[in-house]
Chain A
């Protein structure tokens, strides 16, 4: 086809002429350096191109060539454990070939063309197959069995399929369609990132995504297939929350998108995940993780693409029947990239300079999450949960990105800088956060953990709520003005905050809290309150109750390993009774 030529260069925006033959959203190669770009607007002969690489040195007259295909990702074995940039280029192989800094115009395929994978068919010659049917397996990592699926648009009878070692571009099977056409299936397939992968049916989420984080699981659970947002000012621990979820969330696959964030944070994930063991499988966390990194110093246009690349990879694994969790840190940087391109396109700005379509783009992205039955004759149930961090300027969530996000998500973990200053982590504010899944999930918790789960949870919430009201009174008239039961209530609430909600991400035991342990902790904290209240009625002094020695043990229960938890739990309850008995005897004497 005809080549276009550059007419104008302004930052990441290039306008090329002679582009009548190209399609909207085609990927183009810009200049002799063959930088990757995408057409985002067409005006007659002129195409506006967002270039995913630094455009310094580009000038009018240089060639622009369309690839006639939209921006797509390569899906196949080799995704797990990899780190890609915003347009799915493999960063480790780029480093090996070009050194420590990112140079321009690098052309390295996303999936390693030389890696060999052992393919085991699950269908045989003569079987009828349709799109997204599984035809075979590849053991991609110790824990992930990569399911090779029939690409979309393929339907017919298998006329050849063979076990063996293949590279991603090798043909592993051939299908004869109803029209008698032969179609080859390779280990790898492609999918355009801006189109959600289709599914047969979408369903409401029915079980929680267990994260091992107490404030999340107990108070504000997220469902498998649900969407959550974590807004918070800088320093409130957004990234630590995201990392904790990526580490411990009970999902089969984690896709982590570092979108416009710090380079060292991605390095941290790269260093730390291989060392950490998944509590469920006992294998390294990296064996289930895909990383997408567009750090803040990398080209801004690729930031816009990065979340689509990530979610397309996540959908691919969802179609295999996995439960997938995607973390995007941070969607605000994505929105800012959108704003920057919009500004350069001289579009009429909406609120705070963001384009008017910000809300609909965000909604489209989050709506790709869900619990679905995949296509294919043997449709599998897979879930895709999305957790997006939002970085509101100054921590003020009245800004457009936060507001547009809150309209969509069902779970809102509100990070609070005041809690962070007190080093209460995770700094999720229990008064302003919410989860619309908590009632739906209640049944699951009651049957899977303990029938009293929801009851204890609602008692915790009430105590915390009462505390905030009592605090107002204390601020006005002082602690002395409170009745003894109210003072005890404050103590119990403090215990909930410090002994239950506070969780140390860097402590080897406390970093992950199984549901059984969370339940035991709730019981202990409330047992103290109930029994102390009882003792109070029998004449014990509030000052003594507050200083009860067993409280220190309750406070340290979170650091007790799960295998000895049962014994410690009984000990504490016995201690509690004994301490209270002693106290009451002393009062009588």
Chain B
């Protein structure tokens, strides 16, 4: 029986100082028992001699300095995992909230995981067909990649994420898959949208949900993504499944991190976020990947809302430095009812080059992709010029580029949330649009592909 301490010295925000403790270690899990018998979980943030600084994962309401008891549990925070977790719903700390039975864990895993040895990683290179042209054709997703969606308030990131979860598949395989979904501080409606969407497609049977809603304790959110990733690691690397992890919304997670940091009176970095936020976010994102000798994989789609649509805000900025690309949603396209409103120019998939080409998608993929990007960028510039000077100011060739970029947005990007295009359809559509331009302009495409596809659609 672990010792109980009634020596809580102070409580401030999510932090608590406990005096005179013995044999307590850094990062140890603890439990606080209120006079009413209610138990709440917390962990050790700092230990200095007999003083333990403890961070609560739940609200501090009702804690009484004289009669609340703290017990240190001698282990770090763990999640009991089992295949029975599939189709279940848990709260942000891994307790079932769907009125189902408790999970009988096959084993208990530390939610912080262990860093992957870079020498043991397997390079992600299996093409995932999401059925979304702007992703498959231009910002290709591969198994084991972490590709966030940079959204903003009021943009339809949930629809896009649900579409990807619904349609994503590796062609020609029928390996077991699972979806792990972690909601951090989102509204009931948004969480419900995902549940409904998984239910409609039957994916709910293969989904594990961890839900921390907007009215749940904010500090609990620090544990939620780690719970989800621990479940994902178990399913991927012990049960050989291909796991798609959706984390939403990272912005709320980062805000909780800031709250704890502020309570500790740490020197803040940019915009009050802690200096170690890069490291902290990396400890989540880097858990995606593939390992040598393991058939399973973790593919991650974190969603974040950029405050003020600002890509240089610390949250999207640090995320972009860690993840392997980003899908950026644009308010301007959304206003023009482009659906999904993916802004393809600043979007990027860093792993696309190894996932496309002969044998994976089609030999002409890389060339057409670069050409579409270059042509769309030039078309947008031409259109900007047109706004200032009128159409007459454009050269003939720039007029074609402007026409191309309009057609590109309307046909290629805007496909709706229920169209599922296979990669051939996407590539052929690309050729059809490129045929608007004269062949001499298509400098990034090899002659053999031009001969084969140009003007044939």
Contact = CB atoms under 8 A, between A and B. Distances in A.
Chain A interface size, under 10 / 10 to 19 / 20 to 34 / 35 or more: 35 or more
Contact of A263 (B113, B275, B286): B286
Nearest to A56: B27
B351 interface: yes
Given A336-B275, A423-B377, A475 B121 contact: no
A476 to B, nearest CB: 8
A352 B289 contact: no
B418 interface: no
Contacts of A465: none
A420 B344 CA distance: 12
Interface string B119-149: 1111110000000000000000000100000
A263 B345 CA distance: 25
A56 B114 contact: no
Interface stretch (B329-337, B389-397, B429-437): B389-397
Contacts of A424: 374
10 contacts: A7-B49, A8-B46, A10-B47, A55-B27, A56-B25, A260-B279, A267-B123, A339-B269, A340-B275, A393-B314
Interface centre among A267, A293, A298, A552 (most CB of B within 10 A): A267
A25 B78 CA distance: 35
B275 A264 contact: no
Nearest to B120: A100
Contacts of A353: 267-269, 275
Interface of A: 7-11, 15, 54-61, 83, 91-92, 94-95, 99-103, 233-235, 239, 258, 260, 262-264, 266-268, 270-271, 293, 295-300, 333, 336, 339-340, 343, 349, 352-353, 391, 393-396, 417, 420-424, 474-480, 498-499, 504, 506, 547, 549, 551-552, 555-556, 559
A54 B113 CA distance: 11
Contacts of B266: 343
B114 A262 contact: no
Contacts of B318: 393
B115 A295 contact: yes
B46 A267 contact: no
Contacts of B50: 60
B117 A498 contact: no
A77 to B, nearest CB: 20
B348 A9 contact: no
Contacts of B25: 9, 56-59
A421 B330 CA distance: 14
Contact of B116 (A100, A421, A480): A100
A352 B275 CA distance: 9
A91 B385 contact: no
Interface centre among A58, A394, A417 (most CB of B within 10 A): A394
A551 B388 CA distance: 30
Interface stretch (B55-63, B188-196, B290-298): B290-298
Contacts of B345: 421-422
A480 B393 contact: yes
Given A55-B27, A480-B393, 17 more contacts: A10-B26, A11-B26, A58-B26, A60-B47, A60-B50, A100-B237, A100-B292, A101-B113, A234-B317, A264-B324, A268-B123, A293-B118, A297-B286, A339-B269, A393-B312, A422-B378, A478-B385
B377 A421 contact: yes
A394 B279 contact: no
A56 B118 contact: no
